[in-house]
Chains A and B, each alone.
Chain A
Amino acid sequence: MKETILSVRNLKTYFFTRRGTVRAVDDVDFELKKGECLCLVGESGCGKTVTALSILGLVDRPPGRIVGGEINYDGINLVSCLPARMRQIRGREIAMIFQDAQSALNPVFTIGDQIVEQIKLHSEKSHRQAREMAIDLLKEVGIPSPDEAASYYPHQLSGGMRQRAMIAMSLSCDPRILIADEPTTAVDVTIKAQILDIFQRLKESRQISLLFITHEMGLVSEIGDRVAVMYAGKIVEIASVTELLTNPIFQHPYTSSLIKCLPGITQERERLESIPGTVPSLIDPPSGCLFHPRCAKAMAICREKEPPPVNVTKGHTVFCHLYSAQGMKK
């Protein structure tokens, strides 16, 4: 059993808006192990990004606030740790890559300067050493002529190159945990494969623990070791990737629908599958299981009671009445 590096316990991050309280992350529980890649999967607006931002204490406040739970890293609770300690952790121990490198990089500084800034912030290196390091990093993520690229501004690079630069920047202080928030969503398909390849190599060469956020079930099998499926601010299923994809008997109905939505290349299909209904309002969520209004297998109890976690096999937890003691009884 691998050592746990980050554990999130009963995390609740709410947004207090004029229209009501949005329970963006509600009672989320998971662990990230050393050297593994945990994929956080779910539709847009299910709370994946907010979970990631909560870890680094980057949720905009107001309107957002972590109202409960713990995030344990290296013996400290990040939810309550001092701002100064948090700043040391950010970028140096836990780094984050954002979805759209175009807007996540500062348009008025060169790529090199932005990387150098981070290196110098967390180490005693001279400007020259930091610059050399930045160029090496750009090389590592596969940017051609990294020397030149370092003096380019973000707008002078292509989308794929910008995302690589962003990755290079996040790696600059050799973090133990890397949070990647949909790093392939804003780039096109060929670039996507290359970016995934970079992550694959990082996992092997740097022994980095990866929290990989995506809405694409398809990516999970390529990069993930374990997967947590989120729906409407809650985790509905956690399992190893192989278990989740090969053992459909104990799947959460939501996970099954997500997998069904994948366009297959080999199968002939008339049209793409979709899940009926829409993601519920997080201000006024439905009673019981949040997925019941869209679930084909919903029972009476699903409307009434929130499903408890059920350990269906070792390391595979499902939050669904199909497998709960109460649900089975009825």
Chain B
Amino acid sequence: MKKTWLRDYIIRRLLYAIIIAWGILTVTFVLVRIGPTSPADKYLANLAARGQDAAQVIAAVEARYGLDQPIYAQYLNYIGNLVQGDWGWSFSTSMPVIELIQTHWIYSFQLILLSSIFAGIIGILIGIYSAVRQYSRTDYIATFFSFIGISIPNFWLGVMLILLFAVQFGLFKTYYDTSLPLFSLANLKQLILPVITLGTGMLAGYTRYTRSAMLDNLRKEFVRTARAKGLPERTVIGKHVFRNAILPLITIIMFDLGSIVFGGAYLTEIVFGIPGLGRISFNAIFADDYAVVVAITLIAAFLILMINLITDITYTYLDPRIRYD
């Protein structure tokens, strides 16, 4: 019974996701092309220095990448290539976009993963404690720091952390060193400041969300039943209350992952010079590297859509009352 409607639902959602991603692709594709500059300008600057003729260079470059064609032709061409798995060519780095993404995604991934683990575990634990000991001193302190954490812009926090711990105390390097192997303690160490930068806002948010979700459920009657059964408080809170509190939490955490985390990771990568997708797309925007900008926007959009879908599916397993029709 459950299986069939869930399968139909997933198929329907995937179709929607493709349509939405296509819409986002189209908008981005047009937007980057109506800007006042052209990638040919960059070539121009380079080649003019070597004494070549400007008009010739522009024409050559535009012909080479199909930029002399009308925008709809470029668009159809791009879609045609994309469907075949060709993400286009990065002008500024002189390599296929797909290769660029393959080398750099891991830097973003490690940052987001570690920050989420850091913020998730600590935030949820503090939130639970705050709710159970509502209005205690610990609760007030947690609330105070949560509001600070939520209010601090993470690029500012990143710069401050660098100034204090890297420049003043010399505990860390001021930049991200790509020569270190990914799975090494040294790499983990150099990720400490970036993870704190990206994770602080998330942690503060999770603390608040967990606290309020726990408080909502702590007052429910089934909590009294659980105690009347003779269960120890640990089980009452950790199993009966938390299992209900996790439902609203998941929505918020997943929503955060889409907006705050991706946005935050972008800025954190720029501040620390981490060569992740955020940094790549930042560089690509300034270099008018159309294909890279469109590809990374498309990937981010698709990831967010998938996260939303996974959230909704997870929900059906966590809350037996939910059914999507």
Contacts and interface: CB of A to CB of B under 8 A. Distances in A.
A171 interface: no
A91 B228 CA distance: 6
Interface stretch (B14-22, B118-126, B143-151, B219-227): B219-227
Interface stretch (A94-102, A269-277, A294-302): A94-102
A104 B320 contact: no
A104 B231 contact: no
A88 B230 contact: yes
Contacts of B230: 87-92, 118, 121-122
Interface string B312-325: 00000011110000
Interface string B214-245: 00000011101111111110000000100110
A156 B240 CA distance: 19
Interface in A162-213: 169
A155 B321 contact: yes
B225 A104 contact: yes
A100 B225 CA distance: 11
A88 B226 CA distance: 13
A58 B229 contact: no
B321 A153 contact: yes
Given A103-B222, A104-B224, A106-B222, A118 B320 contact: no
A153 B229 contact: no
A56 interface: yes
Chain A: interface size category: 20 to 34
Given A87-B232, A100-B221, A107 B227 contact: no
A106 B226 contact: yes
B240 to A, nearest CB: 5
Given A106-B240, A153-B320, A98 B224 contact: yes
A121 B228 CA distance: 12
A108 interface: yes
A81 to B, nearest CB: 13
Contact of B227 (A88, A90, A92, A153): A90
B222 A105 contact: yes
Most buried by A among B224, B225, B244: B225
Contact of B318 (A106, A108, A110): A108
Contacts of A117: 229, 231
A110 B320 CA distance: 9
Contacts of A107: 222, 244, 319-321
Interface residues of B, number: 20
Interface in A266-290: none
Contacts of A98: 221, 224-225, 228
A58 B231 contact: no
Contacts of B247: 108
A169 B231 CA distance: 13
Nearest to A153: B320
Nearest to B227: A58
Interface string A56-99: 10100000000000000000000000000001111110011010
A328 to B, nearest CB: 45
Nearest to B229: A91
Contacts of B224: 53, 58, 98, 104
A108 B231 contact: no
Contacts of B225: 98, 104-106
Given A58-B224, A106-B222, A153-B321, A121 B229 contact: yes
Interface string B240-254: 100110010000000
A3 to B, nearest CB: 24
Contacts of A53: 224
Contacts of B244: 106-108
A110 B321 CA distance: 11
A90 B315 CA distance: 33
Contacts of B318: 108
A103 B221 contact: yes
A268 B243 CA distance: 54
Contact of B319 (A96, A108, A122): A108
A96 B222 contact: no
Interface of A: 53, 56, 58, 87-92, 95-96, 98, 100, 103-110, 117-118, 121-122, 153, 155-156, 169
25 contacts: A53-B224, A58-B227, A87-B230, A87-B231, A89-B230, A90-B227, A91-B231, A92-B230, A96-B228, A98-B221, A98-B224, A100-B221, A104-B225, A106-B222, A106-B240, A106-B243, A108-B247, A109-B243, A117-B229, A117-B231, A118-B229, A121-B229, A153-B320, A155-B320, A155-B321
Going nearest first, the 8 A-B pairs with the smallest beta carbon separation are: A91-B230, A90-B230, A103-B221, A91-B229, A153-B320, A106-B222, A96-B228, A104-B225
Given A105-B225, A107-B320, A109-B243, 15 more contacts: A91-B229, A91-B231, A92-B230, A95-B228, A98-B221, A103-B221, A107-B244, A108-B243, A108-B319, A110-B320, A118-B230, A121-B231, A153-B321, A155-B320, A169-B229
